[in-house]
């Protein structure tokens, strides 16, 4: 069995927030020894800033700090060392999946390590198109690309834009989720939630604490709530938990919540949950949930369905309120999200593009959604069967291992309290849910009435490529 990466940047964060008198939370979680570096590079009062997360072998997460100047120096060095064909930015780089898989199989058969060129899909930073060529059987991904290097925490990013590169192992996870023989209704999701037992203990703790709070006793209250909640569960479905893909989903969810509850400065000016919350919006048994879903009106296709284009921003943030019973059970409040929560999710969605420009984890998350939808499209159109390609070494861990990171399972509660009046609201949970095939429903697909996408496919010629050439501009 071959391993794709031994130390690929990994991401995990978990989070349970307790809004104390408007409170907030921080999180500790699980994952391996590698770090994903999915963080904000803004400096805050010094030369270092939050730059990602790292999870030790015991499954405890900590936030990494890094000096943005280290990233600048590394990318400058990478820019100087890249061959001209890779260093040169491209508005639309093309990657043939079949040819790439054949090149990877050849390298593995010869006992060679995979090149960084393969690992980064030749520096592609966004998946914009899928083209299929029945005559040759090539399934081609296309999008912008540039030279690449590592940032201060090991994330592979473009040397000019700083945008995260698409990664081969993430693509393999998406292809396996929507494989030639796979589930045609696959849902990929991560959810980070308090346990029923923890919520019941917390309700008891709140009753014992009573209803009068002030700034002096906030630390005591926070510690009491942290101990009563205990560990929180991380549930990952649809993909293996021990993958970089799963870690990015978890990290993106985690960091979004830190912003919402005021523990991480917003990367752009925006409304946060804490900034909008008033005592009138609080409830002693409200569980406020925020979670990412794709913008399912995500694709446009040519008439023959041999060409597909990603449209829209890819993701939106939504929310809902749940009620927590004395025994820790949860049920929908039936009222939707409160106004502070709605303001936060609406503003986050509206400014998602700007946010992802500053904080790379959200670009990574968008890339994962795009790859999932592309893989679902390839499966739906049966490009596998028409091309006679069964994924080859990409099809299983026996050929190429991508399940190389510890699986996130539980997280420790961390709490930050903010005084707003004298009422208390309880935890925040959430996650990411990707139903990629929903984007392929007829009502969500835009027809290419101008023929532009089909023409672009025709202009993307494979003629003249060497047998071993798997990418070109």
pLDDT digits (tens, 9 = 90+) for 109-138: 999 999 999 999 999 999 999 999 999 999
Q: Is residue 13 part of a domain?
A: no
More confident site: 113 or 225 = 113
Q: With 90 as the cut, is the pLDDT of residue 380 above it?
A: yes
Q: With 70 as the cut, is the pLDDT of residue 1 above it?
A: no
SS (H, E, C) the chain: CCECCCCCCCCCCCCCEECCCCCEEEEECCCCCCECCCCCCCCCCCCCEEEEEEECCCCCEEEEEECHHHHHHHHHHHHHHCCHHHHCCEEEEEEEHHHHHHHHHHHHHCCCCCCHHHHCHHHECCCCEEEEECCCCEEEEEEEECCEEECCCCCEEECCCCCECCCHHHHHHHHHHCCCCCCCCCCEEEEEEECHHHHHHHHHHHHHHCCCCCHHHHHHHHHHHHHHHCEEEEEEECCCCCCHHHHHHHHHHHHHHHHHHCCCCCCCCCCCHHHHCCHHHCCCCEEEEEEEEECCCCEEECCCCCEEEECCCCEEEEEEEEEECCCCCEEECCCCCCHHHHHHHHHHHHCHHHHHHHCHHHHHHHHHHHHHHHHHHHHHCCHHHHHCCCCHHHHCCCCCECCCCCCCCEEEEEEECCCCCCCCCCCEEEEEEECHHHHHCHHHEEECCCCHHHHHHHHCCCCCCCCCCCEEC
Measuring CA to CA, how many Å separate 11 from each of 72, 218, 367, 418?
21, 31, 14, 28
Q: Is residue 422 part of a domain?
A: yes
pLDDT digits (tens, 9 = 90+) for 194-220: 888 988 888 888 788 766 666 677 777
Q: Give residue 172's domain range.
A: 24-461
Whole-model pTM: value is 0.84
pLDDT recorded at residue 104: 98
Q: How does residue 11 score in pLDDT terms, banded at 50, 70 and 90?
A: very low
Measuring CA to CA, how many Å separate 12 from each of 29, 56, 245, 360, 404?
7, 11, 10, 14, 14
Q: Is residue 16 part of a domain?
A: no
pLDDT recorded at residue 325: 67
Q: With 60 as the cut, is the pLDDT of residue 14 above it?
A: no
Q: With 90 as the cut, is the pLDDT of residue 169 above it?
A: yes
Q: Is residue 3 part of a domain?
A: no
pLDDT digits (tens, 9 = 90+) for 277-302: 776 555 555 677 888 999 999 899 99
Q: Is residue 466 part of a domain?
A: no
pLDDT recorded at residue 94: 97
pLDDT recorded at residue 44: 36
pLDDT digits (tens, 9 = 90+) for 455-471: 999 999 898 899 899 99
More confident site: 8 or 99 = 99
Q: With 50 as the cut, is the pLDDT of residue 396 above it?
A: yes
pLDDT digits (tens, 9 = 90+) for 416-459: 666 666 555 555 666 789 999 999 999 999 999 899 999 999 99
Q: Is residue 326 part of a domain?
A: yes
Q: Is residue 57 part of a domain?
A: yes
pLDDT recorded at residue 128: 97
CA dihedral 124, 125, 126, 131 (to 10 degrees): 0
Q: Is residue 132 part of a domain?
A: yes
Mean pLDDT taken over the chain: 80
Query: Structural domain tally of the chain?
Result: 1
Of 21-30, 88-97, 461-470, least confident by mean pLDDT is: 21-30
What is the mean predicted confidence (pLDDT) over 326-342?
Answer: 70
- Judge contact between 413 and 226, C-beta under 8 A: yes
Q: How does residue 346 score in pLDDT terms, banded at 50, 70 and 90?
A: very high
d(CA 87, CA 104): 22
Q: With 60 as the cut, is the pLDDT of residue 45 above it?
A: no
């Amino acid at each position: 069995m071959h391993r794709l990466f031994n130390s690929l940047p990994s991401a995990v964060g978990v989070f349970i927030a307790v809004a104390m008198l408007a409170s907030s939370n921080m999180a500790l979680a699980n994952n391996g020894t590698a770090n994903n570096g999915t963080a904000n590079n803004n400096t805050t009062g010094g030369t270092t800033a939050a730059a990602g997360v790292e999870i030790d072998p015991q499954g405890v997460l900590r936030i990494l700090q890094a000096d943005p100047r280290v990233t600048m120096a590394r990318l400058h060095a990478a820019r100087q060392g890249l061959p001209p064909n890779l260093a040169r930015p491209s508005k639309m780089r093309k990657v043939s999946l079949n040819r790439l898989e054949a090149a990877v199989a050849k390298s593995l058969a010869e006992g060679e390590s995979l090149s960084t060129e393969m690992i980064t899909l030749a520096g592609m930073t966004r998946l914009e198109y899928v083209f299929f060529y029945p005559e040759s059987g090539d399934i081609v991904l296309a999008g912008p690309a540039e030279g690449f290097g590592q940032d201060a925490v090991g994330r592979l990013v473009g040397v000019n834009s700083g945008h995260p590169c698409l990664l081969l192992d993430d693509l393999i996870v998406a292809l396996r989720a929507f494989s030639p023989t796979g589930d045609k209704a696959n849902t990929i999701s991560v959810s980070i939630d308090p346990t029923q037992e923890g919520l019941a203990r917390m309700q008891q703790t709140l009753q014992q604490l009573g209803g009068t709070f002030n700034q002096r006793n906030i630390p005591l209250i926070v510690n009491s709530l942290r101990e009563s909640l205990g560990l929180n569960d991380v549930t990952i479905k649809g993909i293996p938990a021990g993958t970089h893909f799963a870690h990015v989903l978890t990290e993106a969810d985690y960091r979004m919540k830190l912003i919402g509850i005021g523990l991480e400065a917003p990367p752009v000016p925006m409304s946060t949950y804490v900034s909008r919350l008033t005592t009138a919006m609080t409830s002693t048994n409200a569980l406020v949930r925020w979670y990412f879903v794709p913008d399912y009106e995500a694709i446009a296709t040519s008439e023959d369905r041999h060409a597909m284009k990603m449209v829209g921003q890819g993701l939106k943030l939504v929310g809902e309120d749940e009620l927590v019973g004395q025994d820790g059970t949860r049920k929908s409040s039936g009222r939707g999200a409160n106004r502070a929560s709605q303001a936060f999710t609406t503003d986050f969605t509206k400014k998602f593009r700007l946010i992802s420009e500053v904080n790379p984890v959200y670009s990574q998350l968008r890339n994962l959604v795009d790859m999932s939808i592309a893989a679902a499209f390839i499966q739906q159109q049966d490009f596998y069967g028409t091309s006679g390609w069964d994924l080859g070494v990409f099809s299983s861990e026996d050929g190429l291992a991508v399940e190389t990171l510890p699986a996130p399972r539980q997280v420790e509660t961390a709490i930050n309290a903010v005084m707003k009046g004298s009422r208390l609201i309880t935890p925040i949970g959430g996650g990411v849910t990707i139903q990629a095939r929903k984007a392929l429903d007829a009502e969500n697909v835009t027809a290419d009435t101008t023929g532009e996408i089909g023409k672009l496919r025709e202009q993307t010629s494979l003629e003249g490529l060497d047998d071993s050439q798997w990418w070109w501009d």
